[in-house]
Structure 1
Amino acid sequence: MNNTIYVINPNSLAHVTRGLQESLAPLQRDHGPVIECLTLHDGPAGIQNEQDVAESAVLVGRLVGDLALERGDGAAAFVIACFSDPGLHLARERTVRPVLGINECGLLTALALGRRVGVIAILPTLMGRHARGYAAAGIASRIAGEYPLDLTVAQLQDADVTRERMQAVGRRLVQDDGADVLVLGCAGMSHYRAWLEASLGVPVVDPTLAAVAMALGRVAG
């Protein structure tokens, strides 16, 4: 029986994994698949540049392959909880189970909720990668803009600073760029989603929540 959706945090920060588990709690059902969040303990301390993406990609692929082998039918699906989707295609080669990346799922969800999508990044170092992804997916014309908070993944723990910058960036995307839906460009932002949505009055997509919701739909029944 397929009974566990594994949500992989591809960095070594345990507090990010705990935040993911808490934010995903509303999706957990008594008789549904178990949602289990895992930390990639030998991964980088945050996916913040192309080197981090490259290093974590191999580790993510290996972990998915190992879990698929060890757990067999007990693995319902895998979610890679990083907006750069490190190791997504490699992981898909390692299992017949669904493997979902939060970048793809978050953007698809946002496109269903609004006409113009704004993305809140953590740092500018991966925005070029994101832009190439938008172009490759054919959705660049639907991206209103993307701006960074200029905070590392670890610094997102500072709620006061993060909220101040997130509100400023979100307001800029909505008021200046015409975004009518926002996407959080980092799994570490998950617990700010509801607050930001209430603050700005537009839909805010937590891409990890979106990906797990898609995984649940895919494995239901």
Structure 2
Amino acid sequence: MSGPIVVINPNSNQVVTDGLEQALAAFHKAVEIDCVTLAEGPFGIESQYDVDQVALPLAALVKSRPDASAFVIACYSDPGLDLCRATASVPVFGIQESGVLTALARGDRFGVLAIAEASIPRHLRYLRRMGVIERLAGERALNMSVDESARGEGTFERLSEVGQELVADGADVLILGCAGMARHRAVLETRLGRPVIDPTQAAVAMAIGVVLSG
């Protein structure tokens, strides 16, 4: 392996990046991981405008890191993924795509805990593009900001409430629909009694597999 897996938080909220560092701590035993914040990004990626505006800065950051062995774009909308893949000479993983593929390996039907109602149509378009919409049990919103999900005192209880609703919808595996929720994964899995996928962990696990296999 020649260089680190670079995990990019496309928003400018350092609290989210710190949460990614914490969620990925165990992965450092296998490879070097460098979590970075996109300084040009909005404080939270919560709209289609936010998604589209970070594509060029993301590609520029990718281009500036020729030392990387792989990249992970740590936002559930996978902003700039196609452009970054066209820019990079190494693999680039989006966390929504990786999270969904991991969920499909862990259960029959998956549910997604989204940040806000406005993000759901965007996520559904992506699932249709992936051809997996029929495996979706449901997607429900916390109706919180990215920052609130990362640091809010009531985030875990809201995740538990919405997660239980998704289980009732028929989901046997759940996906956290925002990188800012990462620190709640393990305790939420215990509370709900269902596998809970942190999509950033899923993407990094895929990247590690590719990197270590050469």
Smaller-chain TM-score range? over 0.9
What code does the residue aligned with 1:61 have?
A: A
Distance across 1 between alignment mates of 2:15 and 2:153: 17
Calculate the TM-score normalised by the size of structure 2. Answer: 0.97
Find runs of 4+ consecutive structure 1 residues off by over 4 angstroms.
none
Summarize deviations over 1:62-104 as a string: whole Å, max 9, x none: 1101212xx3xxx110000000000111011111100000000
Aligned length: 213
Q: Which residue of 2 aligns with 1:62?
A: 60
Give the corresponding residue for 1:52: 50
Matched, 1:13 2:13: yes
C-alpha RMSD of the superposition? 1.0
The aligned counterpart of 1:179 is 171
For residues 112 and 3 of structure 1, what CA distance do their matches in structure 2 show? Answer: 29
Match of 1:27 in 2: 27
Q: Judging changes above 3 Å, is the alpha-carbon distance between structure 1 residues 124 and 150 closer, same or farther for their aligned structure 2 residues?
A: same
Q: Equivalents in 1 of 2:40, 2:151: separation in Å?
A: 24
1-structure distance, mates of 2:4, 2:101? 23
| Aligned match of 1:154 | 147
Show structure 2 runs of 5+ residues with no match.
none
The 3-state SS of whatever aligns with 1:2 is: coil
Letter of the aligned partner of 1:47 in structure 2? Answer: I
> 8 Å contact 1:2–1:33 — kept in the other structure?
no
- TM-score by structure 1 length? 0.94
1:2-55 Cα shifts (integer Å, max 9, x gaps): 2200000000001110110111011112xx431010000111011100000011
Return the offset for 1:219: 0.5
Corresponding residue of 2:37: 39
* Partner AA of 2:45 in structure 1: I
CA–CA distance in structure 1, aligned partners of residues 211 and 28 of structure 2:
14
Q: For 2:55 and 2:120, how far apart are their aligned partners in 1?
A: 18
Distance 1:57 1:103 in 2: 16
Q: How far apart, in 1, do the equivalents of 2:190 and 2:152 lie?
A: 16
1:159 to partner: Cα distance: 4.3
The gaps in structure 1 that reach 5 residues or longer are none
Code of the residue aligned with 2:109 in structure 1: it is R
Contact kept in structure 1, 2:15 and 2:151, CA below 8 Å: no
In structure 2, relative to structure 1, the CA distance for the partners of 1:58 and 1:143 (3 Å cut) is same
**Structure 2 residue matching 1:108: 3-state secondary structure:** helix
Paired amino acid for 1:186 = C
- CA shift at 1:57, angstroms? 1.4
Residues 33 and 76 in structure 1, CA contact (< 8 A), matched pair in contact too:
no
Contact 2:150–2:181 (CA<8 Å) still a contact in 1?
no
Q: 2:97 aligns with which of 98, 104, 107?
A: 104
Q: How far, CA to CA, are the matches of 2:91 and 2:5 in structure 1?
A: 10
Asked if 1:204 is matched to 2:196, the reply is yes
- The answer for the alignment partner of 1:220 in structure 2 is 212
- Whole-angstrom CA distance in 1 between matches of 2:127 and 2:148: 27
